[in-house]
Structure 1
Amino acid sequence: MNLLTQFKESAKNYAAKPAYYFMDQSCTYAELDGAITKFASGLQKLGVKQGDHIALLLGNSPHFVISLYGALRLGVTVIPVNPIYTADEIGYILNNGDVKAVIALDMAIPLAEKMHTYLPKIEHYIFCETVPNSRVESKFESLSGFSKMKSFTEVVASGELTFMGPELKDDDTAIILYTSGTTGKPKGAMLTHKNLYSNAKDVSEYLKMNSDDRVVTVLPMFHVFCLTVALNAPLLSGATLLIAPKFSPKEIFELINEYQATVFAGVPTMYNFLFQNPDGKTEDLKSLRLCISGGASLPVALLKNFEQKFNVVVSEGYGLSEASPVTCFNPLDRPRKPGSIGTSILRVENKIFNELGEEAPAGEVGELVVRGPNVMKGYYQMPEETAAAIRNGWLHTGDLARMDEDGYFYIVDRKKDLILVGGYNVYPREVEEVIYNHSDVVEVAVLGVPDPNLGEAVKAYVVSKNPELTAEQLIKYCSQHLAKYKNPSSIEFIEELPKNTTGKILRRALKVQVAQNVSK
């Protein structure tokens, strides 16, 4: 069993049911299955074959769903790429990933014009029309690479509904996800058909998704959190996707109300924006049976404030690209523990290892390690990095965590974000939790900065809704709740924290700023 065969079952069982709504348009499971089949057939007619690599430079849209499932049905390896990356970032992934075809919005045609001569391996550029019935060919007729340019609509139209597709093996690489590259160049995590299917199925069962669910799909589809939790798992369950092209608190409130959404999945920043929105009312989220948070640690203060304001329960989980991604979720049938990422999901093991590679006892901080059918088979063309990440069958996450006596896990911080103050360990998240409790604070990020006496000191970057709040006041507030060595030595107020496209706060961008200031 894989995503494609399970989707076929959904298409047969729920043929007339909406598979998705997008911009006030709907598409049934039968119609979506037909489009996927024809796109797979159309790709094959272009000469794309099983084992080839294609890249998707697409935002949240039906084009993404059809392209993803169509390519997988042909046995092609899909590489989702953030479409707002720079030409250099995109070029690196396309080259490193040995991409043969690119599927993108027609807005990316100027990018193709700039890059196509430097990417000789790419044989086809398939552009999706953003304006109905437009002919994208007219936009690139002057290009020397015109023969490589195709229209998405024409590729689908050329396909045949009788297309069956090749046999897919569990260990075939289905998707290569390039990690955000916190150090050096991004690495391509190879996820197999077994990885993707097992995680989508387990998440669906764990969260009790069913055909009555209507899932808000606003997380970026090119990101693994959305791929599994808000796209694959719902489609395998016969649920309906409510596809949102971008995140806007006002539009999300409207979308949830209009379609009576039952499941919302987001990152902490999204929950913060929804909570801070002055127009948000309790009844705006009354149809939701479940809110899911992941991608980064959800501050406990935000969790409690959000739940109190909207009268919903937020279930926090944990995952990473290399694990397809979900490994933990707070259970729905047992007590939830605020601040915890929950317990191991079905068929996945999580443990805490100490520095000796031994399992740590309950309560002790160590590295979170994972094993299960969801763990990647390795990094593309990077055997050394693969060997460092997967040791003795365990995926080493790089996250510091602890487990309590009930089997609930708590992320303490990233190993690389640990601050060493005079020989004492300071976990940024612990300091951030305290600062988030201050009523004037909207967002905060904590990191270590060089200190001539202590090696490192704690610095906080804060977004405040009160222009009168001073650093001295906030430092004094922290001193009432933190040991002296954990207390911020400095606080800098900024208008907005740097974030990636999923809304995750980028500590590394702040670290670069600190390093530049130090070098001056």
Structure 2
Amino acid sequence: MLYSFLKQSANISPDAIVFYSDNYKCTYIELDEKVTILSNGLLQKGLKKGDRIASYLLNCPEGIYLYFACFKIGVSVVIIHPSFRDFEIRLLIENTQPKLLITQLELYKNIQQLGKEFSSLKDYYYLIDCSHNENSNILSFTDLLNETYQNKNLIEEEEISGEQEAIIYLTSGSTGRSKCVQSNHKQHFSYIETYKTLQFNYNDKFLLISPINSLSGLNLGILLAVRYGSTFYYLSTNLPSKQYMKMIPSVLYEQKITCFACISSLLRNLIEEIEQYTKKQYRKNFLRVCFVGGEKFSKLSSEKSRKYLGIYPHETYGMTETSGPVAVSADYPPICGRFKPLNETIKFRITNDNWEDMPYNTSGEITIYSDTIMTGYVNDQETTQKIIKNGWIKTGDIGYLESDDILNVVGRLKQIIICNGCNINLLELEETIRECNDVYEVCATSIPYMESEKPVVYVTFHSSHSINIVEDEEYLFSYLKERVAEFKIPLYIRILDVLPKNIIGKIDRKMLSEKALKEFTQHEI
């Protein structure tokens, strides 16, 4: 079903560029030919519809071939993000039991010891950048791309059902334990179709800021571009984030990018890089669509985006379990945190713990109906049934409805704490601190304190700021006391060189929460 996006665009515009990077270009017809060869290669190795392949790759053309080859023959892709840690890789593979794992030498070193635990793998690894290896469990990916497979009639000419499993990916676990999300062709197909109103076409150029091996990279880059016969560009490098960010402004202008998506904190940092870039030289801006989400996006950031991108970003709201964003800014210019559904099939409710509806303008848990909602968590039916009921999913977020179609998002359930009987929204606290010009990134978490909870804050400053720990902490406390109620003032503020990130680039709240609790226990602050 998802392969139909490629088949249709290859028929209409065979010679158009589908994707490129700084060192590689591929047309639609070339991609379709590679996909046919790889599909036959996988079938020749014994793969069949319903099997699973684990993809653990840095950005490369082979990762794109693999997606569409699997979609074509009904094999599902277990996406292993290149930044996953050992326990996340183990969780995915143990729960999904893939037949093959396809990776690169650079990443293979990360899982060499783990491989001994994975008894499900028929052949342990296919390495893209390895032509021969004495280890019998390591095979060359080029064996699967043997051109002798091109004319073999191994692929069964049957339509892949919408109910056929397509993708398995991992939730970040930023507010709880990581879980394996299972989704099918119909859910992703429906997700791509929700963007019809934005009228993408063959002239659009998408920039993949997220890795190819990520849900955002797949849905908001690869599939969206291929569905409309567009082109997408990816950076082949894998540099640390600050260096990576410095490369993006030149790509935006030189490659005439029209569309990209990223998380809110990344866009804030990107705007600063664009500001510096455009001071040195003028370049015409071709950008027409920018999606931003994953975290709260402030009015100040929105206005700066308008100044340096030429457009207001579309703030989005959604979750991994809905295949990505299902709501977009209800206003233009956007009013931050105020959303409307991406299309008429998506519905909102605000419910209590018993799934009962709350009145308009009354806060409760945001509950969503959409064709894009996951099939469920792999090997965790109990949790699946707790959050999904009759096609509706509980998000774990707090919000309220102005009307059936206007949703206001307040924050995460677990980011609202109670201090001496008063509610404190940690996201609001973060936003207040972030408005300080010297602050680069901020994360507010909480610790148990005197039979209640108390917020604590971690901050990084811009590289241009000369840090004096004592003076800076005192300055931030003074800054907050002028802007928030006394009961919202954090127990302490810590200044760090960097804040830890999770797999999609968000600040790792879980890790900082554990750090705060450990510090409090050890030092009795």
Same fold, TM exceeding 0.5?
yes
2:461 to 461, 464, 468: 464
> Which residue does the alignment assign to 1:133?
none
Partner SS state of residue 229, structure 1:
helix
Q: Report the identity percentage.
A: 25
The 1:425/1:184 distance shift into structure 2, 3 A limit, reads closer
d(CA) in 2 for partners of 1:216 and 1:374? 23
1:343 maps to 2:340:
yes
> Which residue does the alignment assign to 2:378?
380
Mapping of residues 6-45 of structure 1, within 5 Å: 6-45=5-44
1:237 to 215, 228, 237: 228
2:277 to 272, 275, 280: 280
d(CA) in 2 for partners of 1:384 and 1:55? 25
Cα deviation, 1:486-506, whole Å, max 9, x if unaligned, reads 233422211211112322011
The 1:160/1:126 distance shift into structure 2, 3 A limit, reads farther
> Which residue does the alignment assign to 1:160?
150
d(CA) in 2 for partners of 1:37 and 1:492? 54
d(CA) in 2 for partners of 1:38 and 1:378? 32
Unaligned stretches of 5+ residues in structure 1: 131-135
Aligned length: 505
Mean Cα displacement is larger for which, 496-505 or 404-413?
404-413
What's the CA shift for 1:336? 4.0
The answer on whether the counterparts of 2:172 and 2:503 sit within 8 Å (CA) in structure 1 is no
What's the CA shift for 1:356? 4.2
The 1:159/1:402 distance shift into structure 2, 3 A limit, reads farther
1:257 maps to 2:259:
no
Partner SS state of residue 404, structure 1:
strand
Calculate the TM-score normalised by the size of structure 1.
0.91
What's the CA shift for 1:18? 0.1
Partner SS state of residue 457, structure 1:
strand
1:426 maps to 2:428:
no
> Which residue does the alignment assign to 2:59?
60
d(CA) in 2 for partners of 1:111 and 1:445? 29
> Which residue does the alignment assign to 1:192?
184
What's the CA shift for 1:406? 8.3
d(CA) in 1 for partners of 2:178 and 2:492? 32
1:488 maps to 2:490:
yes
Mean Cα displacement is larger for which, 165-174 or 53-62?
165-174
Equivalent AA in structure 2 for residue 363 of structure 1: N
Cα deviation, 1:167-209, whole Å, max 9, x if unaligned, reads 3111111111121234775322111110010001212x13321
Partner SS state of residue 308, structure 1:
helix
Equivalent AA in structure 1 for residue 252 of structure 2: I
What's the CA shift for 1:56? 0.4
d(CA) in 1 for partners of 2:338 and 2:251? 27
d(CA) in 2 for partners of 1:259 and 1:412? 37
> Which residue does the alignment assign to 1:362?
360
d(CA) in 1 for partners of 2:57 and 2:376? 25
Mean Cα displacement is larger for which, 249-258 or 71-80?
249-258
d(CA) in 2 for partners of 1:297 and 1:223? 21
The answer on whether the counterparts of 1:445 and 1:461 sit within 8 Å (CA) in structure 2 is yes
The answer on whether the counterparts of 1:16 and 1:29 sit within 8 Å (CA) in structure 2 is yes
What's the CA shift for 1:291? 1.3
> Which residue does the alignment assign to 1:77?
76
Cα deviation, 1:216-274, whole Å, max 9, x if unaligned, reads 01212332222211121111011101112346223211212222111121112321222
Mapping of residues 490-505 of structure 1, within 5 Å: 490-505=492-507
What's the CA shift for 1:372? 1.6
1:93 maps to 2:89:
no
Mean Cα displacement is larger for which, 165-174 or 23-32?
165-174
d(CA) in 1 for partners of 2:14 and 2:227? 13
What's the CA shift for 1:335? 2.6
d(CA) in 2 for partners of 1:185 and 1:126? 28
d(CA) in 1 for partners of 2:115 and 2:444? 42
> Which residue does the alignment assign to 1:171?
163
What's the CA shift for 1:440? 1.7
The 1:507/1:299 distance shift into structure 2, 3 A limit, reads farther
Equivalent AA in structure 2 for residue 421 of structure 1: C
> Which residue does the alignment assign to 1:443?
441
d(CA) in 2 for partners of 1:500 and 1:92? 16
d(CA) in 1 for partners of 2:184 and 2:482? 50
Mean Cα displacement is larger for which, 86-95 or 72-81?
86-95
d(CA) in 2 for partners of 1:213 and 1:126? 36
Cα deviation, 1:284-322, whole Å, max 9, x if unaligned, reads 571111111122222333232232234332111022121
What's the CA shift for 1:457? 1.4
What's the CA shift for 1:407? 3.5
Cα deviation, 1:433-471, whole Å, max 9, x if unaligned, reads 211112222111111222216x11122212223435532
What's the CA shift for 1:113? 4.1
d(CA) in 2 for partners of 1:54 and 1:518? 44
Partner SS state of residue 218, structure 2:
helix
Mean Cα displacement is larger for which, 148-157 or 353-362?
353-362
Cα deviation, 1:390-427, whole Å, max 9, x if unaligned, reads 02331111111233358433332221222111111111
d(CA) in 1 for partners of 2:414 and 2:498? 23
The answer on whether the counterparts of 1:365 and 1:402 sit within 8 Å (CA) in structure 2 is yes
> Which residue does the alignment assign to 2:117?
118
d(CA) in 2 for partners of 1:445 and 1:14? 47
Partner SS state of residue 276, structure 2:
coil
Partner SS state of residue 497, structure 2:
coil
The answer on whether the counterparts of 1:106 and 1:127 sit within 8 Å (CA) in structure 2 is no
2:204 to 213, 225, 231: 213
d(CA) in 1 for partners of 2:480 and 2:251? 39
The answer on whether the counterparts of 2:170 and 2:180 sit within 8 Å (CA) in structure 1 is yes
d(CA) in 2 for partners of 1:62 and 1:330? 34
What's the CA shift for 1:48? 0.7
Mapping of residues 221-232 of structure 1, within 5 Å: 221-232=212-223
Partner SS state of residue 194, structure 2:
helix
> Which residue does the alignment assign to 1:391?
389
d(CA) in 2 for partners of 1:443 and 1:250? 17
> Which residue does the alignment assign to 1:509?
511
The 1:460/1:300 distance shift into structure 2, 3 A limit, reads farther
Equivalent AA in structure 2 for residue 114 of structure 1: Q
Mapping of residues 139-158 of structure 1, within 5 Å: 140-141=133-134, 143=135, 146=136, 148-157=137-146, 158=148
The answer on whether the counterparts of 1:217 and 1:243 sit within 8 Å (CA) in structure 2 is yes
Equivalent AA in structure 1 for residue 28 of structure 2: Y
Partner SS state of residue 281, structure 1:
helix
Calculate the TM-score normalised by the size of structure 2.
0.90
Equivalent AA in structure 2 for residue 488 of structure 1: P
The 1:59/1:404 distance shift into structure 2, 3 A limit, reads farther
